[in-house]
Homo-oligomer: A and B are copies of this chain.
Amino acid sequence: MKLVVMKFGGTSVGDLDKIANVANIINHEVKKNKLIVVLSAMAGETNKLQNYLDIIKSDNQIENDLVLTSGENVTIGLLSILLKKKRIKSIPLLGWQIPIITDNSHQKAKILNIDTNRIKKYLRKYDVLVIAGFQGISTKGNITSLGRGGSDTSAVALASALNAKRCDIYTDVDGVFTTDPNIEPRAKKINKLTFEEMLEMSSTGAKVLHTRSVELAMKNSLVIQVLSSLKNKKGTLIVDEKKLIEKEIVSGVSYSINESKVTISGIPDKPGISAKIFGLLAEKNINVDMIVQNISQDGISANITFTVPNSEVDKAQIVLKNNEKKIKFKSLNTDENVSKISVIGMGMMSQSGVAQKMFKTLADNSINILAISTSEIKISVLINKKFTNIAVKSLHKAYNLNSKKR
């Protein structure tokens, strides 16, 4: 019998009725395969716990993870009970019980090792292992969390380690869409997508999958399916590039309003100054995304503009101000009122004019571009936040995503 890994997110286990629904899905699947079922906490639960930590302004790594990971105990216990009522042989397992060993980077721990022998032993005795997502145990023996959305990564790591046939990620949407349906109701479900496209979509704002889970699946060539736990229909398959014969020029349009623009003006235009600035930021683990550098009008000094996550903008300002003498800048400005719009597609590599179409579409709508960054399969632009919807809608139309079937 083959092994399938199924992951259900917080909205899929949000109350007892929904957990009962998950039990029904499993009851169907367990007739064909042995199953590892990875669960998140009930929707809202982890937010409630994070809120406690925010109120008391906690920066204690061990304690934060202990608090944040408690919600999964409840969901895996309840699901296992409902499975046993259906006479399915099941057992709930916490991260430390398997164990899923991680490094000591609390709140964003990386999985170092999964005891697959222990899991295989369980699989001989039980048909379904109900495993707490999002959590592991560090080499020092503390409970760790993999970061928000980390249950996806738990599922993919388990599926990879155990050579699972498939990894199904159940959620409250039908799959991955060409863009956010809340902004563009004509957004369509994508049937197939490459890992690379999914990666770019995740990292540019489409909140369907935890970015690290996609990286991990890509590394292991593990097919992921994103599908709805509430509808009995196929979702979006995330596959290896080689398995996708017809590549879309543009598969989707994503956006992110979680980044801030930082501008440093009047820096001496000398070699090595960028290296100094971004070196200082990297030292403090601040993630810099888009970067634009230009010589100012006086021809002597330069300006540098870049983006950082909203949550890190204060830290970035402090680092830069503390090094004012070292960098020798004249002024420092930040702006949270920006939005990053991205178009993504594998076919972009072999097709010219994609960027040109993006810039023209935005210009036609009088939207000013503040910064640009590109990869082989993605073009991102930074714009004023108030133009987010019109930019997404006009690009979705310009690349024929309104009408296309995949």
Contacts and interface: CB of A to CB of B under 8 A. Distances in A.
Interface stretch (A27-35, A66-74, A330-338, A392-400): A66-74
Interface residues of A, number: 34
B49 A74 contact: yes
Contact of A73 (B70, B77, B81, B91): B70
Given A74-B49, A92-B63, A81 B69 contact: no
Given A52-B16, A56-B16, A97-B141, A73 B80 contact: no
User: Which secondary structure characterizes the binding site on chain A?
Assistant: helix
Given A56-B16, A62-B92, A91-B62, A77 B67 contact: yes
A73 B62 contact: no
Interface of A: 16, 20, 49, 52-53, 55-56, 58, 60, 62-64, 66-67, 69-71, 73-74, 76-78, 80-82, 84-85, 91-92, 94, 96-97, 141, 143
A60 B77 CA distance: 9
28 contacts: A16-B55, A16-B56, A52-B74, A52-B78, A53-B78, A56-B81, A58-B78, A58-B81, A60-B80, A60-B84, A62-B92, A63-B78, A63-B81, A63-B84, A63-B92, A64-B77, A64-B81, A66-B92, A67-B73, A67-B74, A67-B77, A70-B70, A70-B73, A70-B74, A73-B73, A94-B143, A96-B96, A97-B141
Copies in the complex: 2
Contact of A53 (B63, B71, B81, B96): B81
Contacts of A91: 62
Contacts of A80: 60, 62-63
A91 B62 CA distance: 9
A67 B78 contact: yes
Nearest to A91: B62
Contacts of A85: 56
A71 B92 CA distance: 17
Contacts of A53: 78, 81
Residue from A56, A76, A78 having most chain B Cβ neighbours under 10 A: A78
A55 to B, nearest CB: 6
Given A49-B74, A66-B92, A81 B55 contact: no
A63 B273 CA distance: 58
Contacts of A64: 77, 81
A70 B52 CA distance: 16
Given A20-B56, A69-B73, A73-B73, 18 more contacts: A16-B55, A52-B78, A53-B78, A56-B78, A56-B82, A58-B78, A62-B92, A63-B80, A63-B81, A63-B92, A64-B77, A66-B73, A66-B76, A66-B94, A67-B78, A70-B71, A70-B74, A97-B141
Contacts of A143: 94
